[in-house]
Structure 1
């Protein structure tokens, strides 16, 4: 059986738009969203810190999951990330999702204090960090002597093991990152603005092949798509690196992304207009029109577990 489709919204992290973010989160939850997300760009002067916004959003909501979209590993050590994620899981009743990546655009990150001077080193660190996070969530002391991280009897939870273990969704596009996603991640989280839709089938296969090579089922990796665009009757229609058009156009596109490209979760990322109104349009006018799930494409082997059950993977 195919996974149920999940829907979420990406909210603005701008300091000037904080009331809009909080109101949009409440609207999304009221209208049935499964999750809300915030970008993690601490090096941008205009944006608030995602790891401070996430607990605020969790405190202001009761049901939706809240995700970083995505955390740049070079600014935080695995121990700090593990402790923060475990704390958020404990205080929210298991509603936190850790979106994680190497960071980018990378050229500007070292100047802001990134741990690694090159993108290649950051990718290597991510490959080491994800399994290390899961060890840190076990509740047992961790000693680790790796290429990028060295720990001695580190414990990154408050007492017992993290329960549930936070899902780790990786933002990835290129071969090394897709391989890391398949080996280690609970979710693949690309964004339409940074790829061609024609590239997606090969990227899906790369994730699947890496999962199989690591002894995992490809279905262990939830396929999540950040869809940037605007729901608008007036603008010319697009369906490439931005999705633009009326609600019906969006519903047709998301159905195609699911049936042809294999995505099972969609995060709407408004790029124009008031986020509150865009979120209303998405959940009231787009989501109900998306065609109900049918058979999955034979090119992929999606699984049947829900996000809730995958939190323990």
Structure 2
């Protein structure tokens, strides 16, 4: 099972770089970056707290951080035309020497759309648009030219050159909707991602496998990735995003459960790992737990 770090973009670039470089030096598999422009509006959250932009971050990290895979978790489809995104992804892959994973999702954060005047359609239209965008991305990144006469995107003999160094460039789709989103994953994704504790991820894997059977896709062709907040030594939050750990032993047991259900990659957000030297020490503890179980 791979293990990767997710440094939050609501911190200075120098801190993100420190985390990414430590991950590369100590044996982590990847570094992931979220695509947001501001914090999600919620009680107790400063809506003006600075957040760095994902496309610039993956290019910057890919240029100076060696070895590890670099990816987006995930680009919101509503924020960029998919033809632009295809060119960004191909360029990022060249910058990092063929280590980029393009993670995409339908888009969801309300306050970003409201502040920037970006349309956030109802769910059906949002997913219709996302499916068309996937056709654009796959066409431009994998075919000599692409023509699409869609409802939302129209391309005529469109090219994206240079192509990524990887052939094909891995495409990750983030989502959890069981009826349609996981079917989209089954049809289009090389990797799938979702937040969740092992029980939740196990259920979603079973749903994804069923969709794969329905569309004639080998489930093994889709790598399964998931994340939860991680506490190395302290109380685990009972509210908010899924969180695991508490003690190293408890963390080890949960990591083993992720492995047992068939997770291919555990992604660790750095939000509860502390800062500075404490964060690097916590990263080392997480990595040693995974290594001790023989999962790397």
How would you bin the TM-score normalised by the shorter chain?
Answer: 0.7 to 0.9
Match of 1:189 in 2: 193
Check conservation: 2:82, 2:133, Cα contact below 8 A: yes
Confirm or deny: 8 A CA contact 1:10 1:38 kept in the other structure: yes
2:35 to 34, 40, 65: 40
Q: State how far apart, in whole Å, the 2-side matches of 1:148 and 1:280 are.
A: 47
Deviation at 1:198, TM superposition (A): 3.4
Partner residue in 2 for 1:69: 73
Deviation of 1:120 (Å): 2.7
Q: Distance in 1 between matches of 2:206 and 2:235?
A: 34
Please give the residue correspondences for 1:262-301 in structure 2 after superposition, counting only pairs within 5 Å.
262-272=262-272, 273-274=274-275, 277-282=278-283, 284-290=284-290, 291-292=293-294
Write the distance in 1 (CA, Å) between the matches of 2:276 and 2:79: 28
Distance in 2 separating the partners of 1:98 and 1:276: 30
In 1, the alpha carbon distance for the partners of 2:113 and 2:104 equals 15
Question: Over residues 161-220 of structure 1, what are the superposed CA-to-partner deviations in whole Å (9 max), with x where a residue is unaligned?
Answer: 65332211111111221111111111111113xxx6433333112211222222221011
TM-score (ref. length: structure 1): 0.82
Give the unaligned 5+ runs of structure 1.
Answer: 294-313
Distance 2:263 2:230 in 1: 17
Tell me how far apart the structure 1 counterparts of residues 203 and 174 of structure 2 sit (CA, whole Å): 16
Q: Which residue of 1 aligns with 2:2?
A: 6
- The answer to whether the 8 Å contact 2:142/2:167 transfers is no
Match for residue 114 of structure 1? 118
Q: Equivalent residue of 1:200, what SS?
A: helix
- Distance, in Å, in 1 between the alignment partners of 2:276 and 2:193 is 21
- Say if 1:276 and 1:27 are closer, same or farther in 2 by CA, change over 3 A: farther
TM-aligned CA deviation for residue 50 of structure 1: 0.6
CA offsets, 1:81-106, max 9 Å, x none? 11111111122211111111112234
TM-score (normalised: structure 2): 0.86
Residues 137 and 162 in structure 1, CA contact (< 8 A), matched pair in contact too: no
**What is the aligned-residue RMSD (CA, Å)?**
2.4
- Of 111-120 and 89-98, more deviation after overlay is shown by 111-120
Runs of 5+ unmatched residues, structure 2: 40-47
* 77-86 vs 106-115, greater mean Cα deviation: 106-115
The residue aligned with 2:43 is: none
| Distance apart, 1:56 and its partner CA | 0.7
Task: Tell me by how many angstroms 1:42 deviates.
Answer: 2.1
Verify the 8 A CA contact 2:98 2:164 in the aligned structure 1. no
Instruction: Give aligned pairs, total.
Output: 281
**CA contact under 8 A between 1:231 and 1:247: conserved in structure 2?**
yes
Report the alpha carbon displacement of residue 238 of structure 1 after superposing the two structures with TM.
7.0
Report how far residue 63 of structure 1 moved: 0.7
Range with greater deviation from structure 2 (68-77 or 146-155): 146-155
Q: Distance in 2 between matches of 1:246 and 1:276?
A: 19
2: CA distance, partners of 1:125 / 1:162: 27
1:131-150 matches, within 5 Å, as 131-150=135-154
